């Protein structure tokens, strides 16, 4: 490179790295990286894309667009044109005019008119796990991204790879913790059974020795055996209830939610309240119950993983032929109308699930206040 990073640029990257290191949640990490790339390179627009392994993007986070511009783009893009080129090799690309590149495929009418382009893959252990896309270098007309801009974003890309890997590991560790908690419960159940059977055996032996000589004391000992067995049965029911994975078809929606929440309370240490209200005139069929549970499961997971909430409230309301599930948290919230809201893959998937079963989902959120997700369905229409 003809130019090298000066001390000011290094300080800027250092500040970015420190900020990102303090955040473990996946989507906020991507948002910070996209904003940082745009600011460091002096770009008008920036995006960071993470491939899903199936020709699309699991996440595509932008920075610098207005809501109108963002809405005009529609759903998550596929890996076509230059978007895909950045994911094929670990080689960076710069062009003075993106529209003249052979792989340029156009964009919607409302899309901002972009020219200068800088693309930098994000590689980890030899694999491309994402890419930075920057367009429209700020400055005089015809300004292009410089060698220094490229070096800055390539340096950021190396830190981005670590940040993305760490965020993924953090999310994965939470998933593994749920499995570990179930294994711990299995061990606890085993220990509880052994201890209880040992106590019952000792007390029964004592009663047998006293039957002829002290029948009244023998009767008391048998009473203790009865209480030990009752207590053990209650304890084992509780442990088995939490240990067995939820089965919506066999247990019903309310019981499955209760089981799931009981495990999550232990794993996350967060106060999760479940309130059940009413009963429907007719129960949803198995497929509908399964989709409702998946929507609730995703909403609760978002609250626990991304919001930093201290309290999560889950309401299941069933009235005649109407069912409503509400997940409310007191976490950090987000701008539900902001440029990133529509691209949150979990929200898209939840809405699609709701629509497939004839329901509707609404998300209300406000930064520093919290988020409420509501899913409603008319069971009468399922007939």
Judged by phi (left if over 0) then psi (alpha if -120 to 50, else beta), residue 228 lies in: alpha
CA 268-305-330 angle, 5° bins: 85
* pTM for this entry: 0.48
CB 73 within 8 A of CB 64: no
Q: What band does 306 get if pLDDT is binned at 50, 70 and 90?
A: confident
Across all residues in the chain, what is the average pLDDT? 77
pLDDT at 134: 93
Among 66-75, 82-91, 202-211, 354-363, the range with the most confident prediction by mean pLDDT is 354-363
Task: Indicate whether 203 pLDDT > 90.
Answer: no
Task: Indicate whether 340 pLDDT > 60.
Answer: no
H, E, C per residue of the chain: CCCCCCHHHHHHHHHHHHHHHCCCCHHHHHHHHHHHHHHHHCEEEEEEEEECCCCEEEEEEEECCCHHHHHHHCCCCECCHHHHHCCCCCCCEEECCHHHCCCCCCCCCCCCCCCCEEEEEEEECCEEEEEEEEEEECCCCCCCCCHHHHHHHHHHHHHHHHHHHHHHHHHHHHHHHHHHHHHHHHHHHHHHHHHHHHHHHHHHHHHHHHCCCCHHHHHHHHHHHHHHHHHHHHHHHHHHHHHCCCCHHHHCHHHHHHHHHHHHHHHHCCEEEEEEEEEECCCCCHHHHHHHHHHHHHHHHHHHHHCCCCEEEEEEEEEECEEEEEEEECCCCCCCCCCCHHHCHHHHHHHHHHHHCCCEEEEEEECCCEEEEEEEEEHHHHC
The lowest-confidence range among 115-129, 242-256, 294-308 is 242-256
Mean pLDDT of 121-128: 86
Tokens of 131: 């890419």
Judged by phi (left if over 0) then psi (alpha if -120 to 50, else beta), residue 308 lies in: left
Q: What band does 276 get if pLDDT is binned at 50, 70 and 90?
A: confident
In CATH terms, the fold of domain 7-173 is Beta-Lactamase (3.30.450)
Task: Indicate whether 143 pLDDT > 80.
Answer: yes
Q: Using only C-alpha atoms, what is the Rg of the chain?
A: 28
Task: Indicate whether 343 pLDDT > 60.
Answer: no
Task: Indicate whether 197 pLDDT > 90.
Answer: no
Task: Indicate whether 313 pLDDT > 70.
Answer: yes
Spans of all domains in the chain: 7-173, 245-383
Task: Indicate whether 3 pLDDT > 50.
Answer: no
Q: What band does 1 get if pLDDT is binned at 50, 70 and 90?
A: very low
Q: Look at 135 and 321; give whichever has higher pLDDT.
A: 135
* % pLDDT > 90, the chain: 11
Number of neighbouring beta carbons within 10 Å of residue 211: 13
Q: What band does 383 get if pLDDT is binned at 50, 70 and 90?
A: low
pLDDT at 98: 81
CATH architecture of 245-383: 2-Layer Sandwich (3.30)
pLDDT at 350: 83
Mean pLDDT of 358-363: 91
pLDDT at 198: 62
Give per-residue burial for 108-138: e unless 16+ CB within 10 Å, then b: eeeebebbbbbbbbbbeeeebbbbbbbbbbe
The lowest-confidence range among 131-135, 249-253, 274-278 is 249-253
Task: Indicate whether 249 pLDDT > 80.
Answer: no
The span from the CA of 93 to the CA of 131, in Å, is: 11
pLDDT at 325: 94
Dump pLDDT digits (tens) for 38-57.
988 899 999 898 887 777 77
Q: Look at 43 and 250; give whichever has higher pLDDT.
A: 43
The torsion of the CA quartet 184, 190, 193, 196, rounded to 10 degrees, works out to: -70
């Amino acid at each position: 490179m003809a130019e090298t990073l000066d001390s000011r640029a290094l300080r800027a990257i250092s500040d970015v790295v420190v900020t990102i290191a303090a955040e473990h949640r996946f989507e906020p990490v991507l948002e910070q990286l996209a904003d940082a790339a745009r600011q460091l390179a002096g770009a008008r627009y920036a995006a960071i894309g993470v491939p899903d392994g199936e020709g699309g993007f699991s996440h595509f986070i932008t920075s610098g667009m207005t809501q109108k511009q963002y809405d005009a783009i529609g759903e998550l893009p596929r890996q076509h044109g230059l978007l895909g080129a950045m994911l094929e090799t670990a080689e960076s690309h710069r062009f003075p005019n993106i529209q003249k590149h052979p792989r340029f495929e156009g964009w919607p009418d409302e899309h901002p008119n972009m020219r200068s382009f800088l693309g930098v893959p994000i590689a980890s252990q030899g694999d491309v796990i994402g890419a930075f896309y920057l367009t429209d270098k700020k400055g005089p007309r015809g300004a292009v991204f410089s060698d220094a801009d490229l070096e800055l974003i390539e340096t950021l890309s190396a830190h981005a790879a670590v940040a993305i890997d760490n965020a993924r590991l953090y999310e994965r560790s939470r998933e593994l913790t749920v499995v570990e908690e179930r294994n711990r419960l299995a061990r606890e159940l085993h220990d509880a059974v052994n201890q209880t059977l040992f106590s019952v055996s000792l007390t029964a032996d004592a009663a047998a020795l006293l039957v002829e000589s002290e029948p009244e004391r023998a009767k008391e000992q048998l009473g203790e055996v009865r209480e030990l067995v009752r207590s053990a049965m209650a304890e084992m029911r509780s442990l088995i209830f939490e240990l067995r994975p939820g089965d919506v078809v066999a247990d019903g929606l309310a019981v499955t939610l209760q089981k799931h929440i009981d495990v999550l309370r232990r794993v996350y240490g967060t106060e999760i309240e479940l309130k059940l209200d009413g009963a429907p005139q007719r129960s949803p069929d198995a497929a509908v119950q399964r989709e409702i549970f998946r929507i609730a499961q995703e909403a609760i997971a978002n609250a626990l993983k991304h919001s930093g909430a201290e309290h999560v409230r889950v309401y299941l309301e069933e009235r005649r032929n109407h069912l409503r599930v509400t997940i409310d948290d007191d976490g950090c919230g987000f701008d539900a109308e902001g440029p990133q809201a529509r691209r949150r893959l979990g929200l898209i998937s939840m809405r699609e699930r709701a629509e497939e079963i004839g329901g509707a989902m609404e998300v209300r959120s406000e930064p520093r206040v919290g988020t409420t997700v509501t899913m409603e369905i008319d069971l009468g229409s399922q007939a």
